[in-house]
Structure 1
Amino acid sequence: MSNKKFAAFIVTFQRPDILMDTIQKILDQTRPPDKLLVVDNNDNDETKNKLAQLYPNVAHLKVGHNSGFAGGGKAGLEALAKEGYEWILWADDNDPPYTEDTLEKLLHLAESYGANCGQVGVVGHKINKRTGLVIRTTNDELEKGGEYLEVDTIGGGMIKVIKGESVLKGIVPEAKLFFGFEDLDHDLSQKRAGYKILVHTGLFMELRKKWNKVNFKKTSTVRKKDESVLWRDYYSIRNSLFVMVKNRYYLAFFSILFVSFAKSLLSYKYGFRYGTLVTKNTCKAIRDYGLNRWYKR
């Protein structure tokens, strides 16, 4: 087997202890990567120094600023693809593989499918082009679909193994998105280029059982979130509008606008302060998208 077969990188920001645990779990895989790279979004050397002490054989790439999962993903993919690696794991520092043979099974699927396989992963879904929403993969599809299932996107943290060839063709995350839907944007770019995106049905179903989501049903109720995580909604709205227009899903663009405003109004049932915070986030996201502003909040 070529020593340029499989590499992995982990994007990290200010979580050195969690990172070290994820590194160990990746190295403990039945098929560990031939090279492991840490893409460091910190502006200090804490992670670099800890890495040198505990895992001196793990490569380190310092970005020098917080480029988000999008910017870190772009840097890691480009660095490893240029070195000639055929398959590249794009990982977050708090999302290690779920089983000890996850990477072995994914690589086997990727290599056995054929030349137009762009990426493989554990959890993925189709996208409704009219609403922009995920169409949840059913249990029947996983149990009766064979070893794999074709999807539109594999979410971040769901063990995405990407074909290096596609990276060399310029299919990389939009760094300006920073955080939120950078994975969907990347995946739809792969599909437009003719690549197939596959999930391993066995691993997917195993994880669904582990998380007790076999009988999961999504509700339309607007739930109150902790105020400390409301900032995520800004990126979700702004970036999803960008992705929908880029892919000419214009009905989905207007659907997201309508739903975002509707959720803002409904959020006032949890109090004026909470509703105001949600509404401000929504308005700023739509404003910044319209003005082509790509702030990191």
Structure 2
Amino acid sequence: MNKKFAAFIVTYNRPDILMDTIQKCLDQTRPPDKLMIVDNNDNDETKNKAAQLFPNVAHLKVGHNSGFAGGGKAGLEALAKEGYEWILWADDNDPPYTDDTFEKLLQLAESFGSNCGQVGVVGHKINKRTGLVIRTTNEELEKGDYLEVDTIGGGMIKIIRGESVLKGIVPEAKLFFGFEDLDHDLSQKRAGYKILVHTGLFLDLRKKWNRMNYKRATVRKKDEGVLWRDYYSIRNSLFVMTKNRYYMAVCSILAVSFAKSMMSYKHGLRYGTLVTRNTLKAWRDYTFNRFYKRNV
């Protein structure tokens, strides 16, 4: 059998959400030839439920919470070694947006040639001075059937060329959570691969989400329960920018994170202290190349 297209879904303790995503992947007009669960749980609940509902879906047990980064690396390497030409890297709460998403993306990938490293629905360029994404404009999307970008975010239906995985282009497992997709994509770009988004699917999604005239929102107070994410965002973005020698972006991220820490005190001493503590830990661990898993 021609091993054309496989998919894997990284999951951690969300079996009900996962089952829905599996079903939507299998219901595609072009379903994957093989679908695999990359299971970050340390128990068999997800495995047993999937075996009952989807006995033909493969299962790869990691045995610990390796994050989206570690799970992504495990899934890509396993399926690339099996010889699959294209591999979907998905999270358990990110099903395809339309019934023909996979079909359209694979048609784009096949039409472009061997230097296409991945295709997806939503992607953007990166500002090398700030480290921030440059939002793709509606006008850019309306110019053609596809657009070359620097990165396709996690959850935006990333379908990756298996050949690039065999060349060692895989996510940095130590990043655990946050910017592992950007790190992977910039590695593909350095190797000479092109990253493409399907402009029709991209525009349709903007219309669905009512984001045709979206403007970047002002910074708001976050719930204390999600502040742990800032640690990963700061630490990992600094790592990725340094790895790619975007040193102005490193300076920008340091300055912005410091400013946000200071401004957070307007929401109270407790809140400001929590934000500052995460920021300082991120700076420290980036400086000493430490990649801990915190507060997860």
TM superposition score category, shorter chain reference: over 0.9
Quick check: 1:3 aligned with 2:9? no
Q: Which residue of 1 aligns with 2:105?
A: 106
For residues 102-156 of structure 1, give each alpha carbon's deviation from its aligned partner in whole angstroms, at most 9, with x where no partner exists. Answer: 0000000000011100000000000000000000000100112x11000000000
Q: Which residue of 2 aligns with 1:280?
A: 277
Quick check: 1:245 aligned with 2:242? yes
Alignment partners' CA distance in 2, 1:291 and 1:190? 26
Q: Which residue of 1 aligns with 2:65?
A: 66
Structure 1 regions of 5+ residues with no counterpart? none
TM-score normalised by the chain length of structure 1: 0.98
**Which runs of structure 2 are paired with 1:198-217 in the superposition (5 Å)?**
198-217=196-215
Q: Which residue of 1 aligns with 2:27?
A: 28
**Which runs of structure 2 are paired with 1:8-87 in the superposition (5 Å)?**
8-87=7-86
Q: Secondary structure at the match of 1:42?
A: coil
Code of the residue aligned with 1:20 in structure 2: it is M
Structure 2 regions of 5+ residues with no counterpart? none
Q: Which residue of 2 aligns with 1:159?
A: 157
Alignment partners' CA distance in 1, 2:11 and 2:20? 12
Alignment partners' CA distance in 1, 2:206 and 2:221? 25
Aligned-pair CA distance for 1:55: 0.5
Identical amino acids, percent of aligned pairs: 86
Q: Which residue of 1 aligns with 2:167?
A: 169
Code of the residue aligned with 2:24 in structure 1: it is K
Q: Secondary structure at the match of 2:142?
A: helix
Code of the residue aligned with 1:264 in structure 2: it is S
**For the aligned residues, what is the CA RMSD?**
0.7
Quick check: 1:134 aligned with 2:158? no
Aligned-pair CA distance for 1:272: 1.4
Q: Secondary structure at the match of 1:199?
A: strand
Alignment partners' CA distance in 1, 2:211 and 2:269? 34
Q: Secondary structure at the match of 2:272?
A: helix
Q: Secondary structure at the match of 2:69?
A: helix
Code of the residue aligned with 2:272 in structure 1: it is G
Tell me the number of residue pairs that the alignment of Structure 1 and Structure 2 aligns.
294
Alignment partners' CA distance in 1, 2:99 and 2:271? 42
Aligned-pair CA distance for 1:227: 0.9
Alignment partners' CA distance in 2, 1:65 and 1:218? 36
Alignment partners' CA distance in 2, 1:236 and 1:103? 29
Stretches of 4+ aligned residues off by more than 6 angstroms: none
Aligned-pair CA distance for 1:273: 1.1
Code of the residue aligned with 2:197 in structure 1: it is V
Code of the residue aligned with 2:273 in structure 1: it is T
Instruction: Say which is worse superposed, 117-126 or 281-290, in terms of deviation.
Output: 281-290
Q: Which residue of 2 aligns with 1:123?
A: 122
TM-score normalised by the chain length of structure 2: 0.98
**Which runs of structure 2 are paired with 1:188-199 in the superposition (5 Å)?**
188-199=186-197
